[in-house]
Chain A
Amino acid sequence: MKGNEFKVLEQLNDIDDDLLMSAEKTPRKLSPAPVYGIAAAVIVSVIALAVFNPFKRPGTPADPENKGNDPVVAGNDVITQIPAGEPAPGFEFLPEAPVEKKVLYAAAKDANGQNEEVPNRGNFYIAAPLCHEITKEEYKDCLFAVELSFYHTYDELYKELHDKEEALYRSKISEYDRMFDEWQKQITSNDPRFTEGKSIDEYPESVHAFGWPEYYGYTPEDFWSRGSNYLYVGLMIMYDDFNNYLKDKMPEDEYNELMAAHKEYLELIDELDGSRTKIRELTKNVHTDEVERLKALGLDVKLEEREDGWTSISGVLTPEQISDFPASSKYGYLIIWQGHDNAINE
């Protein structure tokens, strides 16, 4: 790190703006329930906005190759209209919409602002600009292009996995961690770089939290020579050595049991923080059922599915359908106005 100590922190400067804004507004002392709700909502919203954002899709009005009609700015704030009777380019569902009505889009990608509250089950919120515009007399016969964000879709599953993770940590993994600490101490006890009697907490956090290689008696060169320039691989090599230590120290059946628990624990963490396979499948099922239910009620909605399996719901709705949205008692909803790249903010 010498000579370019801050490169890694500088690289973080390219984080997306909306992420920074949401982190800066971190609420104080949330109880677990809203945390699950917010996590669910934000992820669904982010996926919906990131994946189904018309700016990023080929064939949208933003695409120079697109030959569709340019939108017409209506009003003096955030409205864009697609001319009546002509499908809006870039949206597969639009040709299915009633052709005699105009479809309205938000003019800016941030027109929906930030929703600070989580709707309870059975409730829905309408994003502020949309909520304002649907009340206007001149738009009463128009359709609004919307996306639906869902809340509370997987609260129970998330809590179940989280509780399982906590229980496994208490019953097995805490012991694994304790033995890991014991092994660390053995490695470092004869190392003059570490003052005798000094608590691990007295070292910089980078030492005791990340596992800086020197602390474990390794040098970066040990890791480089074993196949990678990344310290993570070094960390894995270190864990391999620790597992061999465990194997020698414990009866075979206990060792196997502990390792199986550790493997299960890592899989749980991965499900919660990374792959989210079960959560993704559950979300897709919820969206599929909701599309069927809303269609049966006469709403023009469509399931949008991306390659990695995450889904969202988009549609074109009348002002009445939005203001009287038939929310299911199982979920909370946020109705977001779809943005349009060629619109003008005044």
Chain B
Amino acid sequence: MKAGKDDNRIISLFLKRDEDAIRLTRELYGSRLRSIALRVCGDERTAEECENDTYLEAWNRIPPHEPGGYLFPFLAKIVRAKALNRVKQEDAGKRRTEIVELSDELAGCISSKDSVESVFEARETADELNAFIRSLPTQKRNIFLRRYWYMDSIKKIAEDLGMSESKVKSVLFRLRNKLAQRLEK
């Protein structure tokens, strides 16, 4: 519960426009946010810039937005989006192959068309994704999110979960097929 109380305190500081909000956010979540950015962009300096941009965006968005007790996911989504944007802005040849591969892995499951319809489809897809992930046993759910949201390497996931790399790959393969099947319905 400690984090929850700290979250409430920080959010109230944001709401009061007190700059201590940013200092406390950095103290509590800075390293985790930088770590997410680093896994996406692979560059320490860029990751640090993404982290700082995240504090600024949080400052601009709270208020009116109030993330409730979920301050970290709110910040994590911002930093991940910023890091992905930075990767997109780079020359195609310089892009991290890992990120391109991750995107390719999911390409068969999730439509990525740019169209008016796809705006609505994207919302439906997000709902379906949430439902799909919630339906998974804990370990498989964590493997999926660690790989495709936090962008951890297969090796890191395997080490953390005490599994072989091939087992992790096998689980991801099956999960992608199941996700594709679900989205196809």
Chain A: residues with CB nearer than 8 A to chain B? 1, 4-24, 26, 28-30, 35, 38-39, 42-43, 46, 50, 108-110, 113, 128-129, 158, 204-206, 209-210, 212, 228-235, 269, 272-274, 276, 345
Contact = CB atoms under 8 A, between A and B. Distances in A.
The 6 residue pairs across chains A and B that have the minimum distance between CB atoms: A231-B108, A29-B162, A23-B145, A232-B180, A110-B69, A17-B73
A12 B107 CA distance: 12
B31 interface: no
Given A29-B161, A113-B1, A17 B70 contact: yes
Interface in B125-150: 125-126, 129-130, 133-142, 145-146, 148-150
Given A7-B103, A206-B105, 5 more contacts: A8-B107, A20-B149, A205-B154, A228-B184, A232-B184
A37 B133 CA distance: 18
B8 interface: yes
Interface of B: 1, 4, 8, 32, 68-70, 72-74, 76-77, 80-81, 84, 87-88, 95, 97, 99-112, 114, 122, 125-126, 129-130, 133-142, 145-146, 148-150, 154, 160-162, 169, 172-178, 180-181, 183-184
A28 B162 contact: yes
28 contacts: A1-B103, A1-B112, A5-B99, A6-B84, A8-B110, A8-B112, A14-B130, A15-B145, A16-B130, A16-B134, A23-B145, A23-B150, A24-B76, A26-B160, A28-B162, A29-B161, A30-B139, A43-B138, A110-B4, A110-B68, A113-B1, A128-B1, A204-B101, A228-B184, A232-B184, A234-B108, A235-B108, A273-B135
Name the prevailing secondary structure of the A interface residues. helix
A232 B184 CA distance: 8
A204 B104 contact: yes
Contacts of B114: 4, 7
Given A19-B141, A209-B105, A13 B80 contact: yes
Contacts of B138: 22, 35, 38-39, 42-43
